[in-house]
């Protein structure tokens, strides 16, 4: 697949306006990222999708996520589109010197290594801001500075210590969320901080350091449950055991063992729900008149609904609730979303070329950002790069001659 030209918007999906001719909002911005895994690369992807030139600095053997198995197999192609790759050995004096030269050309430097790591190579904010006071430096850590800052953190670590696993699992069975929520959102918050710092730099002319952290991100996610306790004095129960604020708000097993989520979250929706399904007797039962009444009787109401719905197909129920503008959802697996009619119709998926592994060179589909700008989704301009794909191009841009580049390669400083 030929990538869309830089700074151009992707072709419009059916039913959407024609592509705009204006450049993407971050066109002309240079970002150099020293990142790996998910959190830091997510920040770079946000900025890259919005038009920035994002240069991924990788070790000579490449980002470790290029070759992960199982649940990690999609990490690299998911979070590294629209980027260039340069492979440097930061442990060598020559490789570190190239990295510092490259960072000196950046508007933004992003990193997600352990505290103190970047300072070993003169790539910390204190060193780089001396050369470029306009630099915005975004660090992604496990914890913001404080008692925990030197701990090694993972998404699962902070989910366990930050209350999210407790809220997701059944009582006594903490369970991590089914995706890398803190890594992804931590990278997004890093990007949000970067955008704010860019606006501030436009006013003051000065850069600044931005910090984002997994633990603090996780605490933000469970903040609603913390405030529930502060407001009511009652601890929040894990989601599978929670006291639902709505009576009809659950997964139902129906004909042929299919499952569907059905909801009626207001008194008006309850009446419509009964009309749609022919439950006139329930509609006129005084004991079910208000939402709070139904919540109090949820233990007896839900078994009645489950029995009445057991012989209806999920497709029939979906059609009925959609026709009556009521909330519902089929229970989908991630792989089924490749065929979702809404995603296909609205351009929510885009082709990429896989850079690594047994399927290297083959085409797959990835998800795009869940928003539009000027009526358009932000698309794929550059394929996920192979390791060091742009090394020569970027070194040439820094003024290195072919002979100097060859010498760096001979000394294994670059690849």
Please report the pLDDT score of residue 3 as a whole number. Answer: 36
Confidence of residue 14 (pLDDT cuts 50, 70, 90): very low
Cα separation, 67 vs 58, in Å, equals 14
Please report the pLDDT score of residue 22 as a whole number. Answer: 72
Q: Which range among 72-86, 92-106, 236-250, 313-327 shows the weakest confidence by mean pLDDT?
A: 236-250
CB atoms within 10 A of CB 202: 8
For the chain, percent of residues with pLDDT exceeding 70: 95
Q: Token pair of 16, please?
A: 């959407």
| Strand locations in 226-305 (E) | 248-253, 259-264
Cα separation, 194 vs 106, in Å, equals 13
Please report the pLDDT score of residue 242 as a whole number. Answer: 85
CA torsion sign, 48 to 210 to 61 to 390?
Answer: positive
Which pTM was predicted? 0.91
Q: 117 or 243: whose pLDDT is higher?
A: 117
Residue 6 in this model has a pLDDT that exceeds 70: no
Q: Where in the chain is the domain with CATH 3.30.1540.10?
A: 244-334
Residue 300 in this model has a pLDDT that exceeds 70: yes
Q: Which fold has domain 30-222+339-410?
A: Rossmann fold (3.40.50)
Please report the pLDDT score of residue 13 as a whole number. Answer: 41
Residue 333 in this model has a pLDDT that exceeds 80: yes
Q: 245 or 305: whose pLDDT is higher?
A: 305
Cα separation, 291 vs 357, in Å, equals 53
Residue 130 in this model has a pLDDT that exceeds 90: yes
**Are 358 and 66 a contacting pair, CB within 8 Å?**
no
**Are 43 and 31 a contacting pair, CB within 8 Å?**
no
For the chain, percent of residues with pLDDT exceeding 90: 93
Q: Which fold has domain 244-334?
A: formyl-coa transferase, domain 3 (3.30.1540)
Cα separation, 35 vs 56, in Å, equals 7
Cα separation, 124 vs 121, in Å, equals 8
Total H helices, total E strands in the chain: 17, 13
- Cα 40 to Cα 71, 75, 99, 189, 366: the distances in Å are 18, 12, 17, 10, 19
CA torsion sign, 324 to 327 to 330 to 333?
Answer: positive
Q: Where in the chain is the domain with CATH 3.40.50.10540?
A: 30-222+339-410
Q: 278 or 245: whose pLDDT is higher?
A: 278
The string of pLDDT tens digits covering residues 164-205 is 999 999 999 999 999 999 999 999 999 999 999 999 999 999
The string of pLDDT tens digits covering residues 360-392 is 999 999 999 999 999 999 999 999 999 999 999
Helices (H), 105-222: 125-131, 155-161, 164-168, 181-204, 214-221
Please report the pLDDT score of residue 244 as a whole number. Answer: 87
Confidence of residue 4 (pLDDT cuts 50, 70, 90): very low
């Amino acid at each position: 697949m030929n990538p869309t030209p830089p700074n151009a918007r992707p072709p419009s999906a059916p039913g959407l306006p024609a592509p705009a001719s204006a450049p993407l909002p971050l066109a002309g911005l240079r970002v150099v990222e020293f990142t790996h895994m998910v959190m830091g690369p997510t920040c770079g992807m946000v900025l890259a999708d919005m038009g920035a030139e994002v240069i991924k600095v990788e070790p000579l053997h490449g980002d470790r996520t290029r070759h992960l198995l199982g649940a990690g197999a999609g990490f690299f192609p998911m979070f590294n589109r629209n980027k260039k790759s340069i492979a440097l050995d930061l442990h060598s004096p020559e490789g570190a010197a190239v990295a510092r030269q490259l960072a000196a050309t950046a508007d933004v430097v992003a990193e997600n290594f352990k505290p103190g790591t970047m300072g070993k190579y003169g790539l910390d904010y204190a060193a780089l801001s001396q050369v470029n006071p306009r630099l915005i430096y975004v660090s992604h850590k496990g914890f913001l500075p404080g008692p925990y800052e030197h701990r090694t953190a993972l998404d699962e670590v902070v989910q366990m210590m930050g209350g999210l696993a407790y809220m997701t699992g059944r009582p006594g069975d903490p369970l991590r969320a089914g995706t890398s929520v803190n890594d992804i959102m931590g990278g997004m918050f890093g990007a949000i901080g970067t955008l704010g710092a860019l606006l501030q730099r436009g006013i003051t002319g000065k850069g600044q350091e931005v910090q984002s952290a997994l633990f603090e991100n996780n605490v933000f996610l469970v903040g609603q449950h913390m405030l529930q306790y502060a407001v009511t004095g009652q601890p929040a129960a894990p989601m599978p055991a929670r006291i639902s604020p709505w009576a009809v708000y659950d997964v139902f097993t129906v004909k042929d063992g299919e499952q569907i989520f059905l909801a009626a979250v207001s008194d008006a929706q309850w009446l419509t729900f009964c009309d749609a399904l022919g439950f006139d007797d329930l509609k006129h039962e005084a004991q079910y008149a208000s939402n709070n009444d139904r919540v109090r009787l949820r233990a007896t109401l839900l078994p009645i609904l489950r029995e009445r719905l057991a012989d209806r197909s999920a497709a029939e129920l979906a059609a009925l609730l959609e026709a009556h503008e009521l909330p519902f959802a089929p229970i989908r697996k991630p792989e089924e979303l490749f065929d979702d009619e809404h995603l296909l119709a609205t351009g929510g998926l885009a082709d990429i070329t896989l850079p690594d592994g047994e399927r290297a060179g083959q085409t797959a589909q990835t998800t795009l950002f869940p928003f539009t700008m000027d009526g358009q989704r932000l698309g794929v301009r550059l394929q996920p790069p192979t390791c060091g794909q742009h090394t020569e191009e970027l070194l040439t841009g820094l003024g290195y001659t072919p002979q100097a580049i060859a010498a760096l390669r001979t000394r294994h400083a670059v690849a």
